[in-house]
Amino acid sequence: MRISHLYSLVKPFKQTRLSINPFLSWSLLMVLGFGCMQAQESPDRWNKFIRSYPDKHFSTWIKNAQVLDGTGNPSFPADLITLDDRIVYVGPVLDTSLRIDRIIEASGLYLAPGFIDAHAHGNPLKEDAFVNFLAMGVTSVCLGQDGTSPMTEDIREWFNRVNSVPQLINIIPMVGHGTLRVLSGIQYAKQPDRILLDAMMKLLDDALKAGCFGLTTGLEYEPGGFADSVELNLLAKTTGSYHRLIMSHIRNEDDDVLLQSINELARLGKYTPVQVSHIKSVYGKGKDRGLEILAELHRLRADGIPITQDWYPYTASYTGLSILFPEWAKPPNDYTKAVRERKSELQQYLSDKVNSRNGPDATLFGSGPYQGLTLTDVSSRNGKPFEDILIELGPSGASAAYFIMDEALQSELLKDSMTMICSDGSPDMYHPRGYGSFVKIITDYVRDKQVLTLPEAVRKMTGLPASTLQLEDRGTIREGNYADLILFNPEKLQAPATYQNPHELAQGMEWVLVNGQVAWHNESIQLHAGQLLLKK
C-alpha cells in the first residue's frame, strides 16, 4: 500500500472544539506553522535519513501519531521509526519500500516519551514487580529514595543482582544517606568524628563512581535526621564533585517550618543541584500559601541555587507510624523504657500530634493488623483511646496514609515550571499513588481541572526529570534518543486505584515501548526490555 506524501494537519482537530478541550488548547496556528515547515523540509530530511540506512530495514514504524516530544512544545503530527533501541527518524515517511518488523497504526493517539518517575519505591529483584508502573506508561523509575538504598558496601554487587533479573522497566539507582550512615558505622551518632565521616564519604564516592545518579536523604527519619550541617555539607561537596543530584525528604514538612527546611536543603545547592522530594505542606491551606512557597523557591533560583521539586497527585501522604512519635521514643532510644517511664507524656504527645494532623479519621492504616481501617475505626472497635492504640503498635508497628494536604495549596505547587511528577509509590504500598499517579495527572489535572495543558504535563513527566537527573538520551522524542515511548488517547485513560482498593492497575495506555521493544499492549505485559541505567 502506498503512503500518502501529504499530512492532513486539520484531521487531529476535527472532532474537538479548541475552546473547551484542554488537550488542544495550544495555538492551532503554531501547530500548522510547524507542519508547513516540516512539509518543506521533509524531502531533504527523508533523503538524508534513508541514505544513512541503505538496507532500509527498521524495527518499528509508528504511523500517523500526534507527537508530544517532552519539551512542553505543542503536539505535531508525525511518523516515528526505530532501529533496535533507538529513535532514528521523526517526520513523514516518504517511501513504502522499507522493511519494517512492526507497524503500529497510531491515528487518534498521542505519542510521547515514556514517563520517568522521579521518586519511587520497590524491589527490582522481584520479577514483574513493577507492572503497576508499566501500566501507567512509566518506563523508568528512580529508586533508593528517602535516604534508603540497598545495604551493601559495594553497590556493584546489587547492580549485578538486578541485572540477573528480567526487568519490565528501566531502573535509575540513587544511594541513600541513611544507608551510608549505617554502613560506615555512624548510624545514630549526632556528631560523628572525622574518621567515621571519611568512611561515609568514601562509600558515597564509590557509589557515585559505580554509577548512582546521586544521593538521597531522609532528614525526617532515623538515622538521617541526626545529620548536622557539617555532615550535610561534606555529602554535598562529594556529590557535587561528580555533578550529581541530591534528592531530599526534607527535615520537616510541617507548614510552620517548611521554608526553613527547604532552605536547609538549598544551602547544599552551593555545591550541587538539589531537589525537594514529594513537595508538600502539612497543615498548610489555600492557594495563597502555595504561592508563598513558590515565591521562596523562585527567590532561591534567582540567587543561583539549582533547586527543583517533585510532586504526586494525592492529598494523603504515606509512611511509617514513627512520624507521629517523639524523638525520645524512637531509635536509638529504648521504646519500652520510654513507655514505662513517660507513658502519660507520650499519650499527650500522640494525641496532640494526631489531632494537629486532621485527627484520627485522617490516619488510614496501610499495613499491620489494622490494614484498611482508620485510627478512629480501630479505637472504636477496641474501646481504647487512639493514642493507646498507637502506643501498643509502636513507631515501627505499621505504616499509614495520612490525609494532611490541602488541594488548593498543592495545585499551586504543581503549576511551577520546575515541578516534576513522581508517585512516591511502590507495587506493595497500601496507597493508590503507586498505581495511579501518572495517569491521574492527565485525567484530573489536565482533562478535568485544566490546571495544566497536556504538553506541560508530559514535560513534567518526561523531559524535566530526564534533564534534572542528567538522564542522557531519554525523556524527549528526538532522533538518536532511546525509544522509551507511549501511545495513548487521553479520553480513555483511567486511574481506578482508591485508598480502599489501591492495587488496581491504570487503564487505557495503548502501547508502551521500553528500549524499542513493546513491553505493554492490550492491558498486559508483552516483554521484559528494561535495563539498569548507570551514570557514566
| Confidence at residue 41, expressed as pLDDT on a 0 to 100 scale | 63
| Confidence at residue 4, expressed as pLDDT on a 0 to 100 scale | 31
Whether 70 is covered by a domain: the verdict is: no
Q: Assign 183 to helix, strand or coil.
A: helix
Instruction: Work out how many domains the chain is built from and give that number.
Output: 1
- Do residues 102 and 487 make contact, with C-beta atoms less than 8 angstroms apart? no
The pLDDT averaged over each successive group of 10 residues in the chain (536 residues) is: 31 32 38 44 86 94 98 97 98 90 98 98 94 98 98 98 98 98 97 97 98 98 97 98 98 97 98 98 96 98 98 97 96 96 98 96 96 97 97 97 97 98 97 98 97 98 98 96 98 97 98 98 98 96
Side chain identity, residue 373 = L
Q: Domain range holding 371?
A: 338-403
| Confidence at residue 127, expressed as pLDDT on a 0 to 100 scale | 86
Query: Concatenated DSSP letters for 5-34?
Result: S---SSGGGTTS-TTT-GGG-S-HHHHHHH
**Grid cell for residue 396:** 515501627
Which DSSP helix (H) or strand (E) runs through 289? helix 287-302
| Confidence at residue 407, expressed as pLDDT on a 0 to 100 scale | 97
Whether 358 is covered by a domain: the verdict is: yes
How many Å apart are CA 54 and CA 343, to the nearest integer? 79
Residue 479 CB contacts under 8 Å (≥ 6 apart), including other chains:
87, 88, 89, 90
356, 388, 495 from 403: Cα distances, Å: 11, 21, 19
Whether 157 is covered by a domain: the verdict is: no
Whether 372 is covered by a domain: the verdict is: yes
Whether 384 is covered by a domain: the verdict is: yes
Whether 347 is covered by a domain: the verdict is: yes
- What are the backbone dihedrals phi and psi of residue 290, each rounded to the nearest 5 degrees, phi first? -60, -40
Number of C-beta neighbours around residue 29 at 10 A:
9
| Confidence at residue 20, expressed as pLDDT on a 0 to 100 scale | 36
| Confidence at residue 238, expressed as pLDDT on a 0 to 100 scale | 98
Tell if the pTM clears 0.75, that is, is over it: yes
Whether 275 is covered by a domain: the verdict is: no
- What are the backbone dihedrals phi and psi of residue 98, each rounded to the nearest 5 degrees, phi first? -70, 150
How many Å apart are CA 342 and CA 528, to the nearest integer? 53
Side chain identity, residue 300 = L
- Do residues 490 and 461 make contact, with C-beta atoms less than 8 angstroms apart? no
Q: Which of 249, 259, 190 is nearest to 219 (CA)?
A: 249
**Grid cell for residue 64:** 500517523
The strand order across the sheet containing 245-249 reads 175-176, 214-218, 245-249, 274-276, 307-311, 419-421
Q: Which of 273, 277, 163 is nearest to 220 (CA)?
A: 277
